[in-house]
Structure 1
Amino acid sequence: MKAVQITSFGTADVLRVNEVDRPVPGSGEVLVSVEASSVNGHDVIVRAGELKLVSGRRFPIGVGLDFAGVVAATGAGVEAYRVGDRVWGMVHPRQRHSVAGAAEYVVVSADRISHAPADLSSVEAASLVVAGATALIALRDSVRLVSGEKVLVRGAAGGVGTAAVQLAHAMGGQVTALARDRHAKILTDLGADEVLDYGSTTSDRIGPFDVIVDTVGTELHCYRGRLAKGGRMVTVGLSPSAIAAIAASSVHGSRRIRTFSANPETPVLRDVADRVTSGALRPVIDSVYPLADIAAAHRAFERGGVVGKHVVTVPRGSV
């Protein structure tokens, strides 16, 4: 079968579509015939070698954090899924994988998938696994958004940003989206009450906000200063400067900057699926690439200016 792997750290040029053995599910595991995966920041920083402590230095390393597809086989003890079920899920981001989501088949623990929303194609589903779960955890669990609160979503046009705008709107937030001006219409359609052009808007001219969801990971101390009394801020865009800002905020003042590692298991994936079914969340896809062109998808992600997600389609698995 085909699987995207890296055998050294570097630019998108190190990505290879290799022939590997088809994995076999063990006890409590599920074999998924993958139909689509998406490009996430985690994939890019692992490929670049910025998470060596997690990924290790033993190659090959599989690529692709998320996936959507069909159950091809189940291991002993798995009762919630049957062959042919449409599912979506994630590989564990803190474990090393020689084969991950960007492959014809992937084996995962049954507690890392759920049934995919029936009304979504696999391409649409793949665009929402990480984005939807991350946005939901950020708003519901990290900052605990309350209806009526003022919310700023920074980096609102990206995968997590578009999901956060939708979910914050559905939860009753008054949503301000910070993004490129040319993305204003789609963000308004997704539920933003106001869209600000990040190129001409400085942090000192906006707010205060009850909640700030940051997907960028820079200038966090400036945006933290735009929190109202009792305000909460969460960032999912980690960088060295972000880590420093998070640490400083935990020491100085009450408006701590929160962060987390999105590592959703079945209950969260089910919750995201329910929100898709209810109409609160829909996919936003920037572009779709075949598996053979995954390097181009990574380059497009790194260039930025995206609206939603870059999705990679995977050919039907071979025996």
Structure 2
Amino acid sequence: MKAIAYQKFGNTDVLQTVEEPKPVIRAHEVLIKVKAVSINPMDWKIRKGEMKLMSGSTFPRHTGVDFAGVIEDAGPSVTNFKKGDEVFGVVKNNMKDGALAEYVAVPATHVWKKPAALTFAQAASVPIVGAAAVTALEKMGNINTNSQILVNGASGGFGMFLLQLLKQKGASVTAVASPAAVNFAKKWGADAVIDYTKENVLAQQKTYDIVIDLSGRMGYANAKQIMKPKSLFLNPTPQPIEIPTSLFKNLFTGKKHTVILSQPTSKNMVLLLNAISNGLQIEVNKVFPFAQSVEAYRYAESGGIIGKVVVEIN
């Protein structure tokens, strides 16, 4: 089978199309003919060696974490899936494994039935950013119509899910986005949208109960300027040192710094599937064929993408 792999850390030019044996499944696994793989920032952070403490440094390595496809075979211990089922899911180890290949073998607990209303490209876009959005929502605690929430960098896949989940909760949401993304942020549920090319959100007088920085550019130190005395800063892109230091610093301030670490689970997939059945929309920005996988990553890594970028495999 064809797969995308790389032999060293680096930019997109290290990605190669290689021939590999079709995976052999174990008793508890399913073999999936991959139809679509979505691209996440995690992919290139791992590829560039920014997460080698967690991912390791062995090669060759593969890329792509979440996917959608059709069950080709199921191990004897698998009872909830059969050949021909359309599913979406994640690889077993998102730091070491990769889904960008013609076939992938994963535990049956890592896949879910694809809703008929979703395309393969849309379904592949759900697990990683969807799980992150659900985790962020859980970290926010009890939010309601009085909750004032700022979502900075709201137009990517994470923001797309989070804005719509917050809308379903009834929270009052201000989104910070690029000019091209303003209308999308409004469509996804933001009550107000700040175009960052025209207005500096840190210079306004309004303060918030919750600030979540999806761009990774604001940072907790800046966010404190627009946070209420008792408030929460959510950080989904922490530096390794921020994980322990935030816990210590939170003992001495009402402006809490909380790190988001998420993983797709059956619990958060059920919540997401319910949200999708209630109208949550999935915007696929651009679809690339497998032969243009390198171009797909270059495009995704250029930044400012609205929604998700997906590679399709015929």
CA offset digits 1:159-209 (Å, max 9, x no partner): 101111111111111111101123211211111110001233132415311
User: Given that residues 31 and 103 in structure 2 are in contact (C-alpha distance below 8 angstroms), is that contact kept between their aligned partners in structure 1?
Assistant: yes
In structure 2, stretches of 5+ residues that fail to align are: none
Please point out which of 148, 169, 173 is paired with 1:150.
Answer: 148
Q: What's the counterpart of residue 134 of structure 1? A: 132
Is 1:164 paired with 2:162?
A: yes
Q: What's the counterpart of residue 308 of structure 1? A: 307
1: CA distance, partners of 2:142 / 2:206: 16
Q: What's the counterpart of residue 282 of structure 1? A: 281
Q: What's the counterpart of residue 120 of structure 1? A: 118
2: CA distance, partners of 1:142 / 1:9: 33
Provide closer, same or farther for how the CA distance between residues 248 and 184 of structure 1 changes in structure 2, counting only shifts above 3 A.
Answer: farther
What secondary structure, in the 3-state scheme, does the structure 2 residue paired with 1:256 have? strand
User: Given that residues 160 and 188 in structure 2 are in contact (C-alpha distance below 8 angstroms), is that contact kept between their aligned partners in structure 1?
Assistant: yes
Q: How does 1:18-57 map to 2 (within 5 A)?
A: 18-57=18-57
Provide closer, same or farther for how the CA distance between residues 94 and 37 of structure 1 changes in structure 2, counting only shifts above 3 A.
Answer: closer
- CA shift, 1:90, in A, is 1.2
User: Given that residues 116 and 273 in structure 1 are in contact (C-alpha distance below 8 angstroms), is that contact kept between their aligned partners in structure 2?
Assistant: no
1: CA distance, partners of 2:194 / 2:129: 21
What secondary structure, in the 3-state scheme, does the structure 2 residue paired with 1:264 have? coil
Q: What's the counterpart of residue 67 of structure 2? A: 67
Moved more, 231-240 or 18-27: 231-240
User: Given that residues 145 and 173 in structure 1 are in contact (C-alpha distance below 8 angstroms), is that contact kept between their aligned partners in structure 2?
Assistant: no
1: CA distance, partners of 2:68 / 2:224: 36
- CA shift, 1:82, in A, is 1.4
Moved more, 14-23 or 69-78: 69-78
Please point out which of 182, 185, 198 is paired with 2:183.
Answer: 185
1: CA distance, partners of 2:211 / 2:112: 29
CA offset digits 1:268-312 (Å, max 9, x no partner): 222211211111x21112111111212112112221111111111
2: CA distance, partners of 1:191 / 1:121: 23
What secondary structure, in the 3-state scheme, does the structure 1 residue paired with 2:161 have? helix
Cα RMSD for the two superposed structures: 2.0
What secondary structure, in the 3-state scheme, does the structure 2 residue paired with 1:213 have? strand
Moved more, 46-55 or 202-211: 202-211
Provide closer, same or farther for how the CA distance between residues 274 and 201 of structure 1 changes in structure 2, counting only shifts above 3 A.
Answer: same
Under a length normalisation based on structure 2, what TM-score does the superposition of the two structures give? Answer: 0.92
In structure 1, stretches of 5+ residues that fail to align are: none
- CA shift, 1:11, in A, is 0.5
Between 1 and 2, higher relative CO (CA 8 Å, sep ≥ 6) is seen in 1
Please point out which of 185, 194, 197 is paired with 1:196.
Answer: 194
Moved more, 180-189 or 6-15: 180-189
User: Given that residues 87 and 113 in structure 1 are in contact (C-alpha distance below 8 angstroms), is that contact kept between their aligned partners in structure 2?
Assistant: yes
Letter in 1 for 2:43: D
Q: Percent identity?
A: 32
Letter in 2 for 1:132: G
